[in-house]
Amino acid sequence: MQLTITVINGIPEVQAGNDLPGLIMAGCAATGLALQERDILVVTQKVVSKAEGCLLDLRTVEPSPFALEFARQWGKDPRQVEVVLRESVRIVRMDKGVIITETRQGLVCANAGVDASNVPGKHIVSLLPRDPDASAARIRQVLREKTGVDVPVIISDSFGRTWRNGIINVAIGISGLQALIDYRGTDDPHGYRMSATVIAVADELASAAELVMGKVEACPVALIRGYDYTPTRGTARELVIDPERDMFR
């Protein structure tokens, strides 16, 4: 297998209500690429949130006493702390200035995905798309209607990892490919029967795309060509560990 990962150039600063699939198609043309069957598109969460209007002006937020106290203790913006709490359904841990929560979308991550980076405006933060799987499905459907090519779409975001330093991109929305490959019950080359190996291929594809998109280069879309995926409806919810197996709940 040989993979190529290409940044889609020419995508401008995305505004609320923009035709994101149209911008992707224009970017493909500017890059000299035509979508092909078996391609995969990785789209950053930030441009999806911008297009869907998931931005918030912190000047409209009145922080609660709880948010004020946490912000004072750790030198944070109390308005942003308040937004994190509002976007969460469960607090996993709050300590040392870090807030780990379960979001409305079912993700467990730092700050509920609320982020001020790569967003224009001093007081503006972005929120996660309300349903990232549905967002991926809409992009895929429009591209299929306009090009006649059915291209899976992964929406990626930066997450920290338990027991590991640094962040990587993971899939928070999927449409058109399987999130996981389950090797349980198969034998390795030495005859060992695997009983626990499940590979998060959607996360690996999202992370690989990040290597060419970067964090500050304003390249929010990448095309992966050459990966032999299994077509299916797909959902990023498969990547979230079941509550009964969550040792930190």
Domain ranges of the chain: 4-52+129-243, 56-125
Q: Is the CATH number of domain 4-52+129-243 3.30.565.10? A: no
Successive 10-residue mean pLDDT values, the chain, 249 residues: 92 94 96 95 96 96 97 96 96 92 93 90 93 98 96 96 91 96 83 85 96 82 95 92 81
Largest Cα–Cα separation, the chain: 62
Q: Which two tokens stand for residue 136?
A: 């991926």
Which tens digit of pLDDT belongs to each residue from 29-83? Answer: 999 999 999 999 999 999 999 999 999 999 999 999 999 999 999 999 999 999 9
Scanning the structure block, which residue is given the tokens 């090519």? 149
So what's the pLDDT on residue 216? 63
Fold type of domain 56-125:
CofE-like fold (3.90.1660)
pLDDT for 190 equals 84
d(CA 8, CA 5): 10
